Amino acid sequence: MDTKKKSRLQISGDKLVLFIAIIVVFALFTTLNKNFLSVTNLINILIAASLVGLIAIGHTYLIIAGQNDLSPGSLAAFSGVVAALLVGKGFPFWISVIITIGCGILVGCFNAFMVNRIHLEAFIATLVTQSIVRGFAYIVCGGKPIAISNKTFLVLGKARIANIPLSVWIMVVCIIVFGIILAKTKFGRSVYAIGGSIDAARLAGLNPKRIITTCYIMMGILCSIGGIIFAARMNSGQPAANVNLEFDAITAVILGGVSFVGGVGDMGGTILGIILIQAFNTGLTMVNVPSFWQYVAKGGLLLFALTTDYIRKQKREKDLLAASMKNL
């Protein structure tokens, strides 16, 4: 069996494990609370997953490219506050959305600048952005939530198509579009290339800095869209919202099979990771697990995701070594 076939089987095996994990989580929480599998709760899981899902899409690209971003929660909160503030000042809704997304693009460019030009590690660079953007979220609204009265804005949070909230459909469309870009386009292949080896990608004629900048800009756009949708759902822009959002997204992506060292993963695995992490979070709340124990449980799930990623990495390296020895 050649290396490519082994790789495909391993990916299929990873997804099978995810399917089993999702079934176990659903079975466990249904046993503990019979309402877990109700239609209402399943829709609530999808609603909650819509924000994590948008951020996880961005993280899929960044982590495959060997990057990371710890600022999405802060940027989503800032975006919700800015959009609420603008419509409150009388700006048309769509103009407010465009300006808010523009702010997200600027934050993405700032992250890329620190990584590409100042050569900071992505973890440190985006930790800086996390603090700065969260601070601005409080500053622009004076530390108080901004109520939203704009009817068009509120419809965004309440509208449904086929009884599924609009926010869920937006997430699904983004997953499909960005999934196709990642799997079927030259840009997607370039993301994998720089994640596998940035020096090899450069020697192959790619521009890693431009690709990394594009990935951070995409993340900024997705964060702003998510923040706007969340504000519409909550009827207000809240500067304290979405704390630790990025960790749920990273956990979902790593659970989905994206390698933390870059170069490996796909959007299909991310989808399964999103379902698993949100079902897990919702289940903890429904069985009345205290909030501080929920932090412990989420940390344990992230540790599990990183451990499985390490095991997958060791197996890939072993397979590559075996293949190279066979060709000698």
Please name the residue ranges forming H helices in 142-266: 151-158, 166-184, 186-196, 198-203, 208-234, 245-255
Q: Which domain holds residue 160?
A: 3-327
Encode pLDDT of 263-287 as tens digits: 888 999 999 999 999 999 999 999 9
Residue 236 has pLDDT above 70, yes or no: yes
- Position 13 scores a pLDDT of 63
Encode pLDDT of 93-126 as tens digits: 999 999 999 999 999 999 999 999 999 999 999 9
Give the count of domains, the chain: 1
Residue 128 has φ and ψ, to the nearest 5°, of -60, -50
Distance linking the first and last C-alpha atoms of the chain: 17
Give Rg (Cα) of the chain.
20
Considering the entire predicted model, what is its pTM? 0.90
Residue length of the chain = 328
The answer to whether 252 and 48 have CB atoms below 8 angstroms apart is no
Encode pLDDT of 135-167 as tens digits: 999 999 998 999 999 989 998 888 899 889 999
Encode pLDDT of 239-250 as tens digits: 999 998 999 999
Q: What is the CATH number of the domain that holds 50?
A: 1.10.3470
Q: Where are the beta strands (DSSP E) in the chain?
A: 146-147, 160-161, 164-165, 236-237
The answer to whether 141 and 82 have CB atoms below 8 angstroms apart is no
The answer to whether 98 and 195 have CB atoms below 8 angstroms apart is no
Which residue in 139, 160, 175, 141 sits closest to 43, CA to CA? Answer: 160
- Position 84 scores a pLDDT of 96
